[in-house]
Amino acid sequence: MKDVLVLVEKFSAHPDSRCWYVAWNPAGTLMASCGGDRAIRIWGREDGSWKCKDVLQDGHQRTVRKVAWSNCGNYLASASFDATTSIWKKKDGEFECLTVLEGHENEVKCVAWAPSGNLLATCSRDKSVWVWEVDEEDEYECVTVVNSHTQDVKHVVWHPTQELLASASYDNNICIYKEEEDDWECKATLEGHTSTVWSLSFDPSGQRMASCSDDRTVKIWKECENEGEKSWKCVCTLSGFHERAVYDVAWCRLTGALATACGDDSVRVFKEDETANPDQPIFSLAARVAKAHVQDVNCVSWNPKEAGLLVSCGDDGDIAVWRYQEEP
């Protein structure tokens, strides 16, 4: 391990509460965070440090678990334990609640926008994944409810270029969905983890996907073609690095570095061996901060525009901004 993660700044984002998630806007200039205090906070740089620019309150009655920016950066979606998803629209520099999406039976665990901005996916403890269509009048309509998991669905993520959706669940599996004749269907179930799959992240090309689990491993899945049939196969397992559950994984679109958030209070960065066979990739631990947070680290997210800029948040309610520096 020669590379280093340097702490740029750490600040209290959700005092006396967990900070569950932090997401960069597409321009990399703002962050949105959410937590157990039911609030969403918007953070921006001011005089070299991060300041709270806006607090979105009254949108939810319970914990806000995830936030997601639309590709245009003008919309923010928030998923809550109150069984709703709120859509916020930026107007004159401020966010207002546009609509509240209802339908899930209980906690909504994640929300994600498709690259086109016309589709939104939500998932819930009710074991379902919902796909919503958005029209030009900002009207949202549920077009499909998929029940491919047998347990709580923790995470949904869209492919970076295709309208392909992946979900991760408490049932230890990952499901891949595609639209067939106006209906979204589960096309593949990826088995391999031995406990809850907490998060997923596609690589920049979308040909590979990383998954992280309660089983303390990270798996790399690759889309393979065999006799015209496409399928996802596990080509690498990162084991022995994490001492507790791995709650989040983030694949940097700019550098290809892989970051993880772990229940052992650490943030780690893995680097791929570029000389290895792409069908048998090798990742090595490049950097680790042992006490990145005082408690569990819940989320890691790479800045989409500034290479090496990483943000994390944890049960301590803090956000930490890191700079990943590779040894020349």
Q: How many CB atoms within 10 Å of residue 305? A: 14
**String of DSSP letters for 186-216:** EEEEE---SS-EEEEEE-TTSSEEEEEETTS
Q: What is the CA radius of gyration of the chain?
A: 18
Q: How many CB atoms within 10 Å of residue 316? A: 23
CA angle at 79 for the pair 75 and 82, rounded to the nearest 5°: 135
CA angle at 201 for the pair 195 and 204, rounded to the nearest 5°: 155
pTM of structure: 0.96
CB distance 127 to 153 below 8 Å: yes
Q: Which element (helix H / strand E) includes 171?
A: none
Given a cut of 90, whether residue 52 has pLDDT beyond it is: yes
Return the percentage of the chain with pLDDT > 90, whole number.
90
How far is 123 from 151, CA to CA, in rounded Å? Answer: 11
How far is 177 from 195, CA to CA, in rounded Å? Answer: 21
Tokens of 259: 């970051």
Tokens of 182: 């106006």
Q: Is residue 213 packed enough to be buried (19+ CB in 10 Å), middle (13-18) or exposed (0-12)?
A: buried
Confidence class for position 1, pLDDT limits 50, 70, 90: low
Confidence class for position 57, pLDDT limits 50, 70, 90: confident
| Residue 52 backbone zone (phi > 0: left; psi -120 to 50: alpha; other: beta) | beta
Q: Please write the tens of the pLDDT for every residue from 141-196.
A: 999 999 999 999 999 999 999 999 999 999 999 999 999 988 999 999 999 999 99
Tokens of 223: 């889309």
Confidence class for position 74, pLDDT limits 50, 70, 90: very high
**String of DSSP letters for 59-75:** S-SS-EEEEEE-TTSSE
In the structure, how many helices (H) and strands (E) does the chain have? Answer: 0, 28
Chain-wide mean pLDDT for the chain?
95
Q: How many CB atoms within 10 Å of residue 48? A: 7
CB distance 249 to 211 below 8 Å: yes
CA angle at 65 for the pair 264 and 97, rounded to the nearest 5°: 150
Q: What integer is the mean pLDDT of 267-289?
A: 94
Site of tokens 């319970």: 62
